[in-house]
Structure 1
Amino acid sequence: MDNKKEFKREKLVLPNEGKKLLLHSCCAPCSGEVMEALIASDIDFTIYFYNPNIHPRKEYEIRKEENKRFAEKHNIPFIDADYDVDHWFELAKGMEFEPERGIRCTMCFDMRFEKTAEYAAANGFDVITSSLGISRWKNMEQINDCGLRAASRYPGLEYWTFNWRKKGGSARMLEISKREKFYMQEYCGCAYSLRDTNKWRVANGREKIKIGVKYYGEEEKDENK
């Protein structure tokens, strides 16, 4: 007898009677659960992929194409924004050795959300949000502060602070990633997080990260050999 309870999603509603959502997406694994929740709630949304922090370019393209593939599967519009990585490095000057979740990350979120808010205001969106907050590696308060600050610059635009982790959201994020065999990102994304992650790996007797190699679901495949 199967005692597993059928999962029922709650009906989500945009804040302040919003009609059109622009979802800033950082990658397919983080946005998969967010997208499925929005689809199940019949919310009109578009993906906005703006992540010039991701380094190197090969990693950026893989993450973008995985996200684009999942959006196309569900017929969700996908906006491919500029990869203005030189500007990101300019803004990061002096913050090269700041810790994760520190002021460099605040700068990074501000940069991405400001661009998201600008696009939303110019193209008829009244709500923005991001998939970044679903990751347990991120500081949700820090992310929400950046999102709220970006939206406040445009009258009539709101940043949705919905907690995507709650009620099993983080667990479903992992389930969807395995089901879709998404590319597995092994560091946050920027050159400095890659540097620090590799430094930690070497110090703990592990190999450095190999770009474009690991995918969700491969663990199970290896175990069954």
Structure 2
Amino acid sequence: MVARERPKLSLPCEQGKVLLHCCCAPCAGAVIEALLWSQIEHAIFFYNPNIHPRREYLRRKEELQRFALIHGVPFVDADYDPAVWFERVRGLEAEPERGARCSICFDLRLERAARYAHDADFTVMATTLGISRWKKIEQVDASGRQAAAHYPGLTYWAHNWRKRGGAERSVTLSREEGFYRQDYCGCVYSRRQLRAASQARSEVVSLTHQADS
């Protein structure tokens, strides 16, 4: 049990267990902590074929597995499936972060989570994706609701994990746990865009310094 007092959460339905789709330990840690404190039964579902390269994928998965093991939370590993992801986002390579590519990406991952939740008798599904500063909560929740709607008896929990100190706690917990904090969402295209923007800023700074010399 995580020893940190906080307001207790309530499920969006009377009872049941939660399948929590997680993308990485920094995003998931504070959410898992909140569920543990609230004594809500849950399991982690790791399906993130967008993460690139493979070593990045493994690093994020293994770190989350370690945290889950420490706190006795079941971990479902849906394994790596990048070919499916690349096929789904074909033609959207140049889309910016929070654009159409992200919606397709969320759809793919949460569709898989919803199917597993239904097959394994979970009544609620949720995701930690919305706690990230890289994401639009409304965009994530739209995909979650759409995925759950295909399965009678399954509810998507559109909880804003950033509120009530959630975002701040995720940063603090990451430091306490020594989590590796990535500097991009996960996919190869977001990584390229981030690197290009960083290089452009460096070039501007360099030109400014030259002009001042």
The match for 1:117 is 114
Q: 2:26 aligns with which of 29, 41, 60?
A: 29
1:83 and 1:46 map into 2 onto residues whose CA distance is 19
The match for 1:64 is 61
SS of alignment partner, residue 13 of structure 2: helix
Q: 2:10 aligns with which of 5, 10, 13?
A: 13
Note the residue ranges of structure 2 that are not aligned, 5 or more in a row.
Answer: 204-213
* Corresponding letter in the other structure for 2:191: L
The match for 2:143 is 146
- 1:24 Cα offset (Å): 0.1
2:88 and 2:15 map into 1 onto residues whose CA distance is 33
Q: Deviations over 1:125-147 (max 9, x none)?
A: 00000001111221000100100
SS of alignment partner, residue 179 of structure 2: coil
1:36 and 1:139 map into 2 onto residues whose CA distance is 22
The match for 2:158 is 161
2:5 and 2:25 map into 1 onto residues whose CA distance is 22
Question: What's the TM-score, normalizing by structure 1?
Answer: 0.87
2:201 and 2:184 map into 1 onto residues whose CA distance is 16
1:153 and 1:82 map into 2 onto residues whose CA distance is 23
Following TM superposition, where does structure 1 have runs of at least 4 consecutive aligned residues deviating by more than 6 angstroms? none
1:142 and 1:99 map into 2 onto residues whose CA distance is 14
Q: What is the root-mean-square deviation in Å for CA atoms of aligned residues? A: 1.1
Question: What's the TM-score, normalizing by structure 2?
Answer: 0.92
Q: 1:104 aligns with which of 87, 101, 104?
A: 101
- 1:13 Cα offset (Å): 1.4
SS of alignment partner, residue 64 of structure 1: helix
2:5 and 2:41 map into 1 onto residues whose CA distance is 20
Q: Deviations over 1:68-95 (max 9, x none)?
A: 0100010100011031100100111100
Q: 1:170 aligns with which of 167, 170, 175?
A: 167
Q: Deviations over 1:130-176 (max 9, x none)?
A: 00111122100010010000000000000000111111110000000
Q: Give the conservation status (yes or no) of the 8 Å contact 2:5–2:37.
A: no
Q: Give the conservation status (yes or no) of the 8 Å contact 1:18–1:127.
A: no
* Corresponding letter in the other structure for 2:51: I
- 1:115 Cα offset (Å): 0.2
Note the residue ranges of structure 1 that are not aligned, 5 or more in a row.
Answer: 1-6, 207-225
The match for 2:199 is 202
2:197 and 2:74 map into 1 onto residues whose CA distance is 38
Q: Give the conservation status (yes or no) of the 8 Å contact 2:12–2:157.
A: yes
- 1:42 Cα offset (Å): 0.5
* Corresponding letter in the other structure for 1:198: R
* Corresponding letter in the other structure for 2:38: S
1:191 and 1:11 map into 2 onto residues whose CA distance is 38
